Structure 1
């Protein structure tokens, strides 16, 4: 195994020592769980590890000095734990530290933030080599200047020839694998060097998020357009077969246009790395906004209902209006972005498909745990109904202001919901709605969310049916909001569209 992502899995307990037996592991993501205990020192034995994220857990103790021996480490995030003691010296020569959890609060993330008892390490004093006291041989004094002048002359000729050739063949497409950068919505081509310059060689100050597939950077292109660059962890640029398939797939995905889907402007496939170039969203992820006290309050009930509708319309488009249909596979609050007006845009709608071009829906199981449909545990088949289930989870998360982990466990025994009212689970940071229309919309959305969470995939509505429900007219609820129970919503006893209706196929 080379890659393991268990982010947002609700995992508890210590990090198992057995994880250190994965000698070929290059990427390990265990952030946003409830892991306790200390960081195993044996992680330092994972010599191939490049990406390590243990952020937003309950880890205690000191950071093991063995982590400093991970020479290939390029991405480290230990923020928002309860770590203490000194920060060890990090020996990795290519390390650019990124903070996924703190990306919600600041532009300049600190990978150790949220660990108040950590003390910074002292940089080691550079070792100065003792000057050689022996005298330079006489013949070196004669031939060395001549050799330098000869080398400079040769380099000058080569550079001049290259410049002349470039001017004479400006429109020739590069044929060497891994050298193509393209943005279809802008004039001309963007060079890999432009991307490196825009992010100052991917400095962590430009990083605005880290996910299972890659790190996201904010960058201003030479044309002045601000975009989000997703630097993919998956490295296949040296594979010519993957090169061709990847370009064909991304060309198809770039043609997708919907008002609630993040626009994919283009890509960069280079020997060193792979990028996807997306439209930039000012407010960031829905996940971060729900956990920000100021933004969460600014997202009133009307905005939240519209966000849910926007996600539904985007998924309906992917499932029913694209040819062939596209299954997202990883609908979660992390993959829903918001613009400055809190409008929802679905992101990462084709990343899994692009990076697993040789795999079928049966073998590739991706998704954020806590949002994954239960049938995947035994069918191992990803369908549109898996997206429908994930949509139901995200809809409840928006209404509750937090992940509905306990709610999902109660669904297996609905009798536990008899005495629980809807108002008991709504986000208490917002006042209860006073408008009859807003109240009807909340009940409507909650009812549809529970329908999408049906344990039987065939009994879940399609996303097209969900959108049709949103367009239907609502009649009066008949009873006050404070009296509506979750069991009533699950059984669809509330009137929707003028009559009691059960969605399903």
Structure 2
């Protein structure tokens, strides 16, 4: 009955068991980043599997598109063993020759350094997560986007443009291009590298999947899973699309985001802070599930000391403590999450509400029904109870003092509990009051 099996990054050796081929319920299997070798099990499921599930292994072969046929792979493996014997036998003789050659090449390289630097700008240096056909895939992407023409652009930002690439195979990718701006070269490179480093450490169903990346003279490119429904901010702006995003779906979106934050903050080898949790950086798939995207401002925290950094993020979502300290913590993401949760149920950014409460009154009590998106029908009693529970957690996340905000794990646990602590079925939660903290 197993549906999804992820064995990646486990240093596994040997063969993939042939019995895997008879597991009829499997819809995905990931054995990448191991030391596996030999044939992939023969079954219709494995024949149609993407090569990404098997990348970065010792020597896998089979009928998976992108893997070498087993006859060729076996022959290459035998050749490789023969080469190892020859190399071990000739090492003592070659060592002195290598040292001599290295000396000659060093002096030759010094004379040619200027020429190499000038040529380097015109070379396309492709780095890919795809183990076999990454370069070919990127060529297909260039062709599919007509060399990244505007007609294929689906989004722009300060340092990047996003393109939709539909390959001849039918596969669809979102390709983010980091612009090369001479005066901001270090910033461009930092955004590009930071996003790669963060996403290579994260594997979570609610975090956008990075398939590959490329650095060339044309720019820096990141290749992602394509999200059919685009970003949350555009969905909320459109009346038609916002109505599709009913209360149950909005409740699920809150859970998707908080689960991803809990994973980033508590389950990675070092905590990862996104620093720009906004409705623009929440993408929706065809089933209205949420994915956190755009890790260009992400920071991997040093758990043994302070994490002083420049302010990054979007106005209206920034934690208030960033106005007087540059020490970033997980609580910065939690504040942004609180704003996002309010925005999701209100249907628009809560900035005007928060400003009016701060300027006009010291009493910050708001009736819940006055916070709900008027484009949707009034929720039934059970749904209203769930929404009240989620908004109760959201306003805790807006506490000016970061020590009073919940951690992502506790917020996730409380939200996942389904608001069981408020079990009174007779309370009219539409008229219930929420106290929103102000700065």
Q: Structure 2 length as normaliser, TM-score?
A: 0.64
**Structure 1 residue corresponding to 2:428, chosen from 464, 480, 483:** 480
Residues 1:289 and 2:229 aligned together: no
Following TM superposition, by how much is the alpha carbon of 1:205 offset from its aligned partner in structure 2, in angstroms?
1.4
- Displacement of 1:485 in angstroms is 1.8
In structure 2, what is the equivalent of residue 468 of structure 1? 413
TM-score by length of structure 1 reads 0.56
Pick one of 214, 227, 230 that aligns with 2:160: 214
1:276 to 200, 222, 226: 222
CA distance in 2, matches of 1:188, 1:396: 44
Aligned to 2:177: 231
Match of 1:421 in 2: 367
Alpha-carbon distance change, 452 to 252 in structure 1, aligned in 2, over 3 angstroms = closer
1:198 and 1:310, CA in 2 relative to 1: closer, same or farther beyond 3 A? same
Q: Which runs of 5+ in 1 are unaligned?
A: 1-174, 355-359, 492-505
Residues 359-374 of structure 1: pairs in structure 2 closer than 5 A: 361-374=307-320
Q: Secondary structure at the match of 2:151?
A: helix
- 8 Å CA contact 1:220, 1:227 repeated in 2: yes
Map of 2:144 onto structure 1? 198
Q: Is 1:437 aligned to residue 382 of structure 2? A: yes
Deviations 1:351-394 (A, max 9, x none): 1248xxxxx95332211111111111110222111100000001
Secondary structure of the 1:379 match is coil
| SS at structure 1 position matched to 2:312 | coil
Matches of residues 149-168 of structure 1 in structure 2 within 5 Å? none
**1:385 alignment partner, one of 306, 331, 334:** 331
Within a 5 Å distance, the mapping from 1:17-416 to structure 2 comes to: 179-185=124-130, 187-190=132-135, 193-221=139-167, 223-234=169-180, 250=196, 253-348=199-294, 350-353=295-298, 361-410=307-356, 412=358, 415-416=362-363
Which whole-Å CA distance do the structure 1 matches of 2:250 and 2:227 have between them?
17
Aligned length: 307
State the superposition RMSD in angstroms.
3.1
Shift in Å, 1:460: 0.4
Given the alignment of the two structures, is residue 456 of structure 1 paired with residue 401 of structure 2, yes or no? Answer: yes
Separation of aligned partners in 2, 1:202 and 1:339: 23
Give the structure with the larger helix fraction. 2
Q: Cα gap change, 1:307/1:439 in structure 2, threshold over 3 Å: closer, same or farther?
A: same
Cα distance in 2, alignment partners of residues 219 and 208 from structure 1: 10
Partner Cα distance (2:197, 2:236) in 1: 33
CA contact (8 A) 2:278 2:340 kept: yes
Distance in 1 between the 2:247 and 2:145 partners?
A: 37
- Residues 341 and 297 of structure 1: CA distance in aligned 2, closer, same or farther (over 3 Å): same
SS of residue in 2 equivalent to 1:317: helix
Residues 12-70 of structure 1, C-alpha deviations (whole Å, 9 max, x = no match): xxxxxxxxxxxxxxxxxxxxxxxxxxxxxxxxxxxxxxxxxxxxxxxxxxxxxxxxxxx
Match of residue 101 from structure 1 = none
> 1:260-285 deviations in whole A, cap 9, x for unaligned?
11101111100220011111000000
Per-residue deviation, 1:224: 3.8
Q: Secondary structure at the match of 2:162?
A: strand
Asked if the contact 1:254–1:263 (Cα under 8 Å) also holds between the matched residues in 2, the reply is no
Structure 2 alignment gaps of length 5 or more: 1-118, 300-305
Does structure 2 retain, via aligned residues, the 8 Å contact 1:440–1:476?
no
Q: Quote the Cα distance in structure 2 between the aligned partners of 1:430 and 1:255.
A: 39
Kindly provide the CA deviation profile for residues 98-152 of structure 1, in whole angstroms up to 9, marking residues without a partner as x. xxxxxxxxxxxxxxxxxxxxxxxxxxxxxxxxxxxxxxxxxxxxxxxxxxxxxxx
How far 1:450 moved relative to its partner?
0.2
Q: Once the 2 structures are TM-superposed, how far is the Cα of residue 254 of structure 1 from its aligned partner? A: 2.6
Q: CA deviation at 1:409?
A: 2.1
Q: 1:385 to 1:243 in 2, by over 3 A?
A: closer
Secondary structure (helix, strand or coil) at the match of 1:261 reads coil
CA distance 1:427–1:249, change in 2 (3 Å)? closer
Contact 2:144-2:166 at 8 Å conserved across structures: yes
C-alpha change, 1:293 and 1:246, in structure 2 (3 Å) is: closer
CA shift, 1:423, in A, is 0.4
> Could you tell me how far apart the structure 1 residues matched to 2:217 and 2:348 are?
41
Work out whether residues 309 and 470 of structure 1, in 8 Å CA contact, stay in contact via their aligned partners in 2. yes
1:197–1:372 CA distance, 2 compared to 1 (3 A)? same
Kept in 2: contact 1:410–1:416 (CA 8 A): no
Change (3 A) 1:268 1:461: same
> 2 CA distance for matches of 1:490 and 1:477?
27
Aligned-residue offset at 1:328? 0.2
- Where does structure 1 differ by over 6 angstroms across 4 or more consecutive aligned residues? 242-249
**Contact 2:173–2:223 under 8 Å retained in 1:** yes
Q: 1:229 to 1:477 in 2, by over 3 A?
A: same
